[in-house]
Structure 1
Amino acid sequence: MKLAIADDHEVVRDGIRWMLADLENIDIVGEADSAFAAIKLLQSEQPPDLMLLDLRLGGTSGFDVLEFAGRSATATRIVILSMHDEAAHLRRAMKMGAAGYVLKNGGRRELLQALETVMAGGKYVQGSLAASIVDAEEGLAAITEREREILMLVADGAENKQLARTLGLSEETVKSYLRNLFARWGVTSRAEAVATAIRLGIID
């Protein structure tokens, strides 16, 4: 397996090299200390099979690398190796195509398990993080019956005037409900809100 490491701290890259040094099936073929350098590795004639990617790369972002990987349909599978344990970071990274997400304090065994799982074609999320995203998803799914009614009508294509008329509300009240949902879910359009509601099992 050809592996690349993208992290802006040399000591972290050296530490990963040390952890993997005795593994004959892993060949570290490149390093990057910025999103630009990581993207260059993905664009090379012989890109790595897998990339360990930090989300914070010296003023640039690992999300930029994920975005490029998604657009270019690269064969390189990406595992996030980060200090960030927030469910929002995990959810965003996996949505953008990351194949795995582990924390830097997870240890050698956790990292090896992630690499093996991803290279076998699976996806891997560190156990403690998987629990946190489940909790976060349950929180997002906790909406009021009125919000659910609005989402169902939006999914059917109803505009604000029709929503207000059907539900016996003012247009401003309808807009307020939608603004609150958009802010809570981090979405910017009705289509995104409907897609989120379907993913969370709120509407069919």
Structure 2
Amino acid sequence: MNFAIADDHGIFRSGLKLILHDLYPDCEIQEAAQGDEVLEILKNHDDIELLLLDLRMPESSGVSLLQQCREQFPEVPCMVVSASEELTVMQSALQNGAIGYIPKSSSNSEIAEAIKKVMSGDVYIPPQLKSVKRGDQTLNINLTPRQLEVLGLLAEGMSNKQIGNQLHIAPGTIKAHIAAIFRELESVNRTQAVRRARELHLL
């Protein structure tokens, strides 16, 4: 089992290595401290089972490195580990192909649980993205990365057919995603769903 950690802070890389070795004692771990090293590791190791990627690294900006990894090595699952807890940053990472997002403020046990979840084939969505405050009320928003993508396209005014063409998914699947979006955002139509999503800073 082979992992890759991409973070320009050596202390944090060491912490992630300890967590990985605790979960998978016999695993191998490749390390990168800057953007170009990440791509080189993925090029030279075709057995990487998970890339843990910081969004802020030398020679990379925002989600650009994530996009490069997903475009050049789509078979490698990537989970973002970042100091940013901004909802828009989390959403952007998930929309650009990350299978999870771990804030660096998370405890070791939370990071371990997130890693186990994505290694089992699931997507890890941080609590910060699920629970959003509106006034004095806390709303538990539980939208998958794909549903967030659909929501973004709804906000652009796309029809079901256009969304299907854009995301390469069947009409029935689109309807199911939209129904889930309406349910989570307590909406009865597209306009209301988009308005509430903007109020909650999901868009």
Q: TM-score range by the shorter chain?
A: 0.5 to 0.7
TM value normalised by structure 2 = 0.63
Task: Give distance in 2, aligned partners of 1:26 and 1:87.
Answer: 35
From the two aligned structures, give the one with the greater helix fraction: 1
Structure 2 unaligned residues grouped into runs of 5+: 133-139, 161-165, 167-176, 183-189, 192-203
Contact 1:35 1:62 in 2 (8 A): no
Q: Structure 1 counterpart of 2:76, which letter? A: T
Partner of 2:102: 102
Partner of 2:170: none
Q: Structure 2 counterpart of 1:18, which letter? A: L
Partner of 2:75: 75
Contact 2:17 2:29 in 1 (8 A): no
Partner of 1:31: 31
How far has the Cα of 1:8 moved from its partner? 0.6
1:35-76 per-position Cα deviation (integer Å, ceiling 9, x unaligned): 111111221243410011111003523522221232224321
Q: Structure 2 counterpart of 1:109, which letter? A: S
Given the superposition, is the C-alpha separation of residues 26 and 80 from structure 1 closer, same or farther in structure 2, using an over 3 Å criterion? farther
Partner of 1:46: 46
Q: Structure 2 counterpart of 1:32, which letter? A: A
Given the superposition, is the C-alpha separation of residues 74 and 26 from structure 1 closer, same or farther in structure 2, using an over 3 Å criterion? farther
Q: Structure 2 counterpart of 1:54, which letter? A: D
Look up the SS of the partner of 2:111 in the other structure: helix
Task: Give distance in 1, aligned partners of 2:59 and 2:70.
Answer: 21
Q: How does 1:47-62 map to 2 (within 5 A)?
A: 47-61=47-61
How many residues end up aligned between the 2 structures? Answer: 154
1:136-173 per-position Cα deviation (integer Å, ceiling 9, x unaligned): x9xxx8xxxxxx9x94xx859xxxxxxxxxxxxxxxxx
Given the superposition, is the C-alpha separation of residues 131 and 28 from structure 1 closer, same or farther in structure 2, using an over 3 Å criterion? farther
Look up the SS of the partner of 1:51 in the other structure: strand
Partner of 1:7: 7
Percent identical pairs in the alignment equals 26
Q: Does 1:65 align with 2:69?
A: no
How far has the Cα of 1:7 moved from its partner? 0.3
Structure 1 unaligned residues grouped into runs of 5+: 142-147, 157-190, 192-197
Given the superposition, is the C-alpha separation of residues 70 and 23 from structure 1 closer, same or farther in structure 2, using an over 3 Å criterion? closer
Q: CA RMSD in A?
A: 3.5
Partner of 1:160: none
Given the superposition, is the C-alpha separation of residues 87 and 26 from structure 1 closer, same or farther in structure 2, using an over 3 Å criterion? farther
Contact 2:23 2:112 in 1 (8 A): no
Q: Which range moved further: 61-70 or 34-43?
A: 61-70
Task: Give distance in 1, aligned partners of 2:73 and 2:38.
Answer: 15
Look up the SS of the partner of 1:18 in the other structure: helix
